[in-house]
Structure 1
Amino acid sequence: MAEPDAHEGGGCCAPAGRGAALPADARPRVPGDATSPGAPGLPAGEPHAQRVLLPGGTFLMGTDDADGFPADGEGPVREVTVRAFRIDACAVTNGRFAAFADATGHVTEAERFGWSYVFAGFLPAALRRGAARPRGTPWWCGVEGAYWRAPEGPGSTVADRSDHPVVHLSWNDALAYCRWAGARLPTEAEWEYAARGGLEQRRYPWGDELTPGGAHRCNIWQGRFPTKNTAEDGYRGTAPVTAYEPNGFGLYNVAGNVWEWCADRWGTEHGARHRTDPKGPAQGSSRVMRGGSYLCHHSYCNRYRVAARTANTPDSSTGNLGLRCAWDA
């Protein structure tokens, strides 16, 4: 396995490093498409599959927060309008993704490449020693055999994590799942509008204080990164998708837990003029990720703020990267 490289925008969050892209005939495929009779949508009665209908509207997107990362293109604050849409209340779970994989035979890019990135602290010493690591972010290990069903590599399982978010998904895998479910990935503007939960220019989906009244409201790193996680918020790795209180729109875990792919290509120039349903740059090799993850910590990756953003190449996968679906209203 070739030595990986960290993505320039946020290797601490979810490193890239696949090398050359897969040839076109090796890309993941889905039998049929979202308009075919076989596209099942969400399973009836699935408790983690609620869709929230949002009326849309105009909001202030982005931030000029002093704790932000200007180089990430978090600002300037600009007025954006989004039309009505539906969005998952929760990130897609292992259980929901298993239904997709079992129904379609989908093989993820982590499986095709034969490896994916796992946080070093989850691995036994022998596996850590032999793993390739991205330059500058040695807490990530490229682990052979790591993929969504074996998130920490061979011998690990999601049997007791069916209600946890599926991880080790590339942008291409996320898109394939959406097509099967009759859905799409949210635009970055839709994602931020939904994540804000009706609050204007607050730092987090619930307000400006990280732990209001001493209560943890998201799954992020507690302690000293990357050597000691006290797990004061209840989790060292992923948490169930309904952990913690939802935001004002009824969305769970839009801060922390796992990064979520968006439809947009990455760009840092937004302009200050009013825009309606922006869809990001027309060209670019990376795709936007939003929300932060269980590895985010204020000392290094303070990207669990609602306006924070980063990106990765569409064939990259890690143990803290999943998705949330959207639908036209």
Structure 2
Amino acid sequence: MIKTRCIYWLIAVLLFGCKENREQEEPVPDEKYEATEQPRDLEVPHGMVWIPGGVIRQGATQEDKQAMGHEKPSHPVYVDGFFMDETEVTNREYAQFIEATGYITLAEREISWEELQEQLPPGTPKPADSLLQPGSLVFNKPEGKINDPHDFTRWWVWKIGASWKQPEGSGSSIEGREDHPVVHIAYEDAVAYSEWAGRRLPTEAEWEFAARGGEENSRFSWGDDESVLEERANTWTGEFPVNNNEADGFEGSAPVESFPPNAYGLYDMAGNVWEFTSDFYDPQYYRKLLDKGVAENPQGPENAYKGYNPNLNAKVIKGGSYLCHASYCASYRVSAKMPQTMDSSHGHLGFRTVATPNMLRKKNN
């Protein structure tokens, strides 16, 4: 695994136009795509719930005016039933993993200039050694007027010493935040925890199926009523990114279970922190799936979209975070997603795990 991290973690999301005749939401034949009953030979693991699986139309509906191009076209997918964490993995749970294994997260590891240099344009000068220190990206509320709402460098800073146990950098701690979702986690850090727990990360299709809670065409994990957003999710309230009036009770992350669960009993499927999926990111993937009819248990594209950088590898993240606002990304919608480079981390990205019946039977044996 790469032991360096990219400071510029955001990929420019390309908006692809969708032909109207490719967005016709035809009914999905459901004779062979039935929900899966919870296996009677297995107890629900502690802290998880059974997701029955079945068929949905993944992606944004035609009525969703806030949808980005990579959320379209909607397309039918089927997923088998699975177990999913009720909440995002917390600081307390991640600390138990660290204590049991001695694992060191990517944000805590020393940076190798030789490895980092391979990811940069030829001739890039070496930064001062004082800057080549372990760390992560931390949100920093800017002062004054923001002229370019997409200039994320105004509110994200590279903070030396920032990690899962020092969320704001050296000298900070997670004391008192044990039940908040763990953040500053890179993809391999999430995978390492999942494997230790005998689980895995959800696919994008599994995540979206679970988030919908049985509501196939709704925009949010609770339905279509955006007026109850402050009651249902931890997002940015006020003027992003300069003023958060904490109308929902929080400015940063919130303890898990602070907001009502969806119909499947899952908390924070909208807001709080972004969540990793196992799928590589490709803005054209949905269009490719649509041509295949009903996609059964899709695993994502074989390779990540490279764009302008041949070394770029990004995974799909879902759910939005406490920094999402209607004026900026509205990523608390079920179909919303973003790319996240695998070799970087930041202060509003975490994860939750899933387990299939076969995984649990193997673990029990």
- Residue in structure 1 matched with residue 91 of structure 2 by the alignment: 94
**What displacement does 1:61 show?**
0.8
- Residue in structure 1 matched with residue 141 of structure 2 by the alignment: 121
**C-alpha separation in 1, matches of 2:271 and 2:167:** 18
**C-alpha separation in 1, matches of 2:5 and 2:320:** 27
Equivalent residue for 2:218, pick from 193, 202, 211: 202
Equivalent residue for 1:299, pick from 327, 335, 343: 327
1:309 to 2:337 alignment: yes
- Tell which structure's C-alpha radius of gyration is larger: 2
- Residue in structure 2 matched with residue 190 of structure 1 by the alignment: 206
1:286 to 2:314 alignment: yes
**C-alpha separation in 1, matches of 2:58 and 2:265:** 19
Amino acid at match of 1:294: Y
- Residue in structure 2 matched with residue 143 of structure 1 by the alignment: 159
**C-alpha separation in 2, matches of 1:321 and 1:3:** 15
2:232 counterpart SS class: coil
Superposed CA deviations along residues 248-274 of structure 1, whole A, max 9, x for unmatched, are 000000100000000010112223221
Contact 1:257 1:292 in 2 (8 A): yes
- Residue in structure 1 matched with residue 255 of structure 2 by the alignment: 240
Equivalent runs, 1:151-230 vs 2, <5 Å: 151-212=167-228, 216-230=231-245
Amino acid at match of 1:74: E
Equivalent runs, 1:62-81 vs 2, <5 Å: 62-63=59-60, 64=62, 65-70=64-69, 73-81=70-78
**What displacement does 1:310 show?**
0.6
Contact 2:9 2:340 in 1 (8 A): no
**C-alpha separation in 1, matches of 2:5 and 2:221:** 39
Contact 1:167 1:320 in 2 (8 A): yes
**What displacement does 1:9 show?**
4.1
**C-alpha separation in 1, matches of 2:48 and 2:187:** 21
Assess, with a 3 A threshold, how the Cα gap between structure 1 residues 258 and 2 changes in structure 2: closer, same or farther: closer
Equivalent residue for 2:7, pick from 4, 9, 27: 4
- Residue in structure 2 matched with residue 61 of structure 1 by the alignment: 58
Amino acid at match of 2:276: W
Q: Which moved more, 1:73-82 or 1:269-278?
A: 269-278
Assess, with a 3 A threshold, how the Cα gap between structure 1 residues 85 and 232 changes in structure 2: closer, same or farther: same
1:202 counterpart SS class: coil
Unaligned ranges ≥5, structure 2: 14-44, 112-133, 144-149, 305-312, 358-365
Number of aligned positions between the proteins: 279
1:255 to 2:270 alignment: yes
Q: Kindly report structure 1 stretches of 4+ aligned residues shifted beyond 3 Å.
A: 1-4, 134-137
Amino acid at match of 2:141: G
Q: Which moved more, 1:134-143 or 1:222-231?
A: 134-143
**What displacement does 1:215 show?**
5.4
Amino acid at match of 1:56: G
Assess, with a 3 A threshold, how the Cα gap between structure 1 residues 2 and 197 changes in structure 2: closer, same or farther: closer
User: What's the Cα RMSD here?
Assistant: 2.0
Amino acid at match of 2:332: Y
Assess, with a 3 A threshold, how the Cα gap between structure 1 residues 83 and 2 changes in structure 2: closer, same or farther: closer
Assess, with a 3 A threshold, how the Cα gap between structure 1 residues 9 and 192 changes in structure 2: closer, same or farther: farther
Q: Which moved more, 1:268-277 or 1:200-209?
A: 268-277
Task: Name the TM-score, length of structure 2 as normaliser.
Answer: 0.73
Query: Identity across aligned pairs (percent)?
Result: 44
Contact 1:4 1:135 in 2 (8 A): no
Unaligned ranges ≥5, structure 1: 11-43, 126-133
**What displacement does 1:8 show?**
1.7
